[in-house]
């Protein structure tokens, strides 16, 4: 497994009726596949997230959508970024992602995290718990899921979860990759050091050096070679052949998030703002920003979303053309 370039679809607000929505999702996945992306991702949420839109905006259930994409693509890997552990029994998660792997003929990746969006838990009746409890549950879940993905039976008696000789058949392989997503320097990174094949680091770009230092500390504590854990960075991309148009789209997006004038922000406020996760401009400008702000620090790969226009034909291809040479050299 290698995910050097991934495409995330966080937005299903395409201004079309429900019956026409999924064809737009398929079109993006196919365009990503043709443009050299290694993986396509959807979010595992039931409501749209606060920094992207209103809770009432369209949101597809992740694994149903991924199975539809499996039947509509040929090469690209498929995953949730990331599966909310609190939404599913872990043995069922293992079964679900393994079935996706069967359906896609070996293209599934288990992206998983502790869960964080409290509104969804309240609305759907899932137990939210404390921060500490959610990470206790994630650790136990990985103890159950990992052997089930490897062809072993799972027997586990924990605080939160219990299995007894849980089997997981059929499978097409015993090395289905596990990806953790998050930015927690102690808990998430420690679990990644123990269980993951890939860590998608979610943070502001200016935090990357500190995050990588913390990750290497967790890997040292686990006695693991850093070369055995692939890393990527999640970023928002607004790319257009007309760089001024891209910057205007960014300004409009930030205005909706309460930032009226990016140029007026002090340096520290800018580093803490959503803009620090955004890469904006022409294809060449975006590529240069990724090289200097992300890859030069030692991150292996990129997972990008095109939240403002990924559903517009040609936009995913434009991003892939700009970024693929950076990570596939």
Residue carrying structure tokens 């808990």: 187
- Could you tell me what percent of the chain has a pLDDT over 90? 90
Q: Which residues of 240-271 are buried (b: 16+ CB within 10 A; e: fewer)?
A: beebeebbebbbebbeeeebeebeebeeeebe
The larger pLDDT score, comparing residue 110 to residue 270, is at 110
Nearest to 199 by CA among 221, 223, 216: 216
Average pLDDT of the residues of the chain: 96
- Could you tell me what percent of the chain has a pLDDT over 70? 100
The larger pLDDT score, comparing residue 269 to residue 309, is at 309
Q: What tokens appear for 281 in the block? A: 């401009």
**Binning pLDDT at 50, 70 and 90, where does residue 183 land?**
very high
Q: What tokens appear for 45 in the block? A: 């949420």
Q: What tokens appear for 68 in the block? A: 């539809």
Q: What tokens appear for 215 in the block? A: 């990750």
Amino acid 264: pLDDT: 77
C-alpha span between 31 and 146 (Å, rounded): 32
Assigned fold of 5-244+275-327 = TIM Barrel (3.20.20)
**How many other C-beta atoms are found inside a 10 Å radius of the C-beta of residue 221?**
12
Amino acid 111: pLDDT: 98
Cα three-residue angle 47-28-302, rounded to 5 degrees: 80
Residue 72 pLDDT exceeds 80 = yes
- Kindly report, residue by residue over 232-276, the tens digit of the pLDDT: 999 999 999 999 999 999 998 888 888 877 777 778 888 888 889
Residue carrying structure tokens 């995290």: 113
- Kindly report, residue by residue over 191-243, the tens digit of the pLDDT: 999 999 999 999 999 999 999 999 999 999 999 999 999 999 999 999 999 99
Please return the burial class of 293, using the count of CB atoms within 10 Å of its CB with bins 0-12, 13-18 and 19+. middle
Complete DSSP assignment for 49-97: -TTTS-TTS----HHHHHHHHHTT-SS-EEEETTEEGGGS-HHHHHHHH
Please return the burial class of 213, using the count of CB atoms within 10 Å of its CB with bins 0-12, 13-18 and 19+. exposed
C-alpha span between 17 and 49 (Å, rounded): 21
Amino acid 4: pLDDT: 98
Complete DSSP assignment for 163-215: EEEE-----S-S---EEEEE--TTHHHHHHHHH-SEEEE-S-GGGHHHHHHHH
- Kindly report, residue by residue over 23-42, the tens digit of the pLDDT: 999 999 999 999 999 999 99
Nearest to 190 by CA among 160, 220, 232: 220
- 3-class DSSP state for residue 299? coil
Domain spans, the chain: 5-244+275-327
Residue 1 pLDDT exceeds 80 = no
């Amino acid at each position: 497994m290698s995910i050097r370039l991934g495409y995330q679809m966080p937005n299903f607000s395409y201004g079309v009726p429900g019956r026409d929505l999924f064809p737009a999702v398929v079109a993006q996945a196919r365009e990503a596949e043709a443009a050299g992306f290694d993986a396509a991702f959807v979010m595992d949420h039931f409501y749209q997230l606060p920094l992207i839109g209103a809770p009432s905006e369209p949101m597809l259930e992740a694994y149903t959508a991924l199975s539809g994409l499996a039947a509509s693509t040929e090469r690209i890997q498929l995953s949730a970024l990331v599966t909310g552990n609190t939404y599913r029994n872990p043995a069922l998660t293992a079964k679900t992602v393994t079935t996706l792997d069967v359906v896609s003929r070996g293209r599934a990746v288990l992206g998983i995290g502790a869960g964080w969006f409290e509104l969804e838990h309240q609305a759907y009746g899932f137990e939210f718990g404390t921060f500490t409890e959610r990470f206790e549950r994630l650790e136990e879940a990985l103890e159950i899921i990992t052997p089930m993905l490897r062809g072993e039976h799972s027997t586990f008696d924990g605080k939160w979860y219990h299995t007894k000789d849980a089997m997981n058949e059929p499978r097409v392989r015993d090395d289905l990759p596990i990806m953790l997503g998050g930015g927690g320097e102690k808990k998430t990174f420690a679990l990644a050091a123990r269980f993951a094949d890939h860590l998608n680091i979610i943070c502001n770009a200016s935090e990357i050096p500190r995050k990588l230092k913390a990750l290497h500390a967790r890997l040292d504590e686990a006695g693991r070679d850093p070369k055995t854990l692939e890393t990527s960075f999640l970023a928002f991309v607004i790319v257009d052949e007309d760089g001024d148009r891209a910057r205007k789209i960014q300004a409009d997006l930030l205005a909706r998030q309460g930032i009226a004038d990016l140029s007026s922000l002090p340096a520290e406020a800018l580093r803490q703002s959503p803009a620090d996760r955004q890469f904006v401009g022409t294809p060449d400008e975006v590529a240069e920003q990724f090289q200097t702000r992300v890859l030069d620090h030692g991150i292996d790969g990129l997972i990008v979303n095109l939240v403002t226009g990924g559903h517009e034909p040609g936009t995913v291809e434009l991003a892939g053309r700009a970024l693929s040479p950076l990570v596939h050299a």
